[in-house]
Amino acid sequence: MDLIVARNREDLVKARGGGEVALVPTMGALHEGHRSLMRLARSRADQVVVSVFVNPLQFGPNEDFSRYPRTFDSDLDVCRAEGVDVVFHPSVDDMYLPDRQVSLLAGRMGEIVEGESRPGHFDGVLTVVLKLFNLVQPSVAVFGQKDAQQLALIRRMVADLDVPVEIVGAPTVREHDGLALSSRNRYLSEDDRQVALALSRALRAGEAERRPGAIREAAREVLAAAGPRLDLDYVVLVDPATFSEVGEEHAGEAVLAVAARIGATRLIDNVILNLNPA
């Protein structure tokens, strides 16, 4: 079956088949990490729908909405290669009414860690994800673990609002040198890329420790050693469900998350740790 491109709601209704549907929401500029999401989606459903939509609601006034990479033709090639059934590629006007008034609020979890650095970002994420769920009507949706706070908030939204969609998280895919795959990596010069490797090195340094304080400190030391070209935003060790900071006596899973700006490019990364009881 040929790949169907649905450019509006009417096209999407016509393209939607029977059986279980898995949705992979993306903003395009697809890479191997997105391919891994598509493969996981294919294993879970009869039909795979990939959305390609650069969502203006999740960009702040000084962020990179206008220059965010838009590579739709090559994105279609990726989707064809992965056996995707439908690509949903709506316009902003088709997704949002001109007099739109109602949006979701991400609550307290949307205001901390990444949300503190990007006010309103998660409100925009949850609003577009819920709209995509309503339009595509999937039984399963697949998201990457690299955006760990986003994943946690989507799971919270589904639980709080009784949305009948199973949320599946997929492991972060990395380059051979450890850099987490991101559509924004293409902004990096070769020199910037070498500096950016400090993020994954910091996570590995944190993994080698056992206590929360030592984990944070080990990660910070690596990032500090990267020099002034790396502008650190945060290093946190948080509960994976709430993204609140964990204490020294925490046992079980925790997310070590980092964010930094290298040149004009802001990158995030994280790793899940399993902390032993005290």
End-to-end Cα distance, the chain: 55
Q: What is the pLDDT of residues 144-182, one digit of tens each?
A: 999 999 999 999 999 999 999 999 999 999 999 999 999
Take residue 174 and report the two structure tokens written for it.
């990395």
Do the annotations mark residue 5 as ligand-binding?
Answer: no
Contact 204, 178 (CB under 8 A): yes
Instruction: Tell me the catalytic residues.
Output: 34
Burial class (CB within 10 angstroms; exposed 0-12, middle 13-18, buried 19+) of 202 = buried
Which residues constitute the domain of residue 161?
A: 4-170
- How many CB atoms within 10 Å of residue 98? 6
30 is in an annotated binding site: yes
148 in helix, strand or coil?
helix
Q: Evaluate whether residue 15 is within a structural domain.
A: yes
Q: Residue 24 belongs to what H/E stretch?
A: strand 21-26
User: Are 189 and 165 part of one and the same domain?
Assistant: no
Q: Is the domain of 107 the same as that of 160?
A: yes
pLDDT of 228-238, one tens digit each? 999 999 999 99
* Domain limit, last residue, from 170, 200, 223: 170
* Residue 27 among known ligand-binding residues: yes
CATH code of the domain containing 241: 3.30.1300.10
Strand-pair partners of 273:
254
Based on the fold, state whether residues 166 and 232 are members of the same structural domain. no
pLDDT in tens, 182-192: 999 999 999 99
Predicted structure pTM score: 0.95
The answer to whether the CB of 241 falls within 8 A of the CB of 154 is no
- The response to whether 184 counts as a known ligand-binding position is yes
Last residue of a domain, one of 117, 145, 170: 170
Render pLDDT for 32-50 as a digit per residue (tens, 0 to 9): 999 999 999 999 999 999 9
Residues 45 and 134 in one domain: yes
Provide the domain count of the chain. 2
Q: Would you state the structure tokens that stand for residue 45, as one six-digit string?
A: 């459903």
**How far is residue 190 from each of residues 15, 167, 171, 195, 196, measured CA to CA in Å?**
42, 36, 26, 9, 10
Assess whether 20 and 130 both reside in one domain.
yes
Within a domain: residue 180?
Answer: no
Q: Do 101 and 149 fall into the same domain?
A: yes
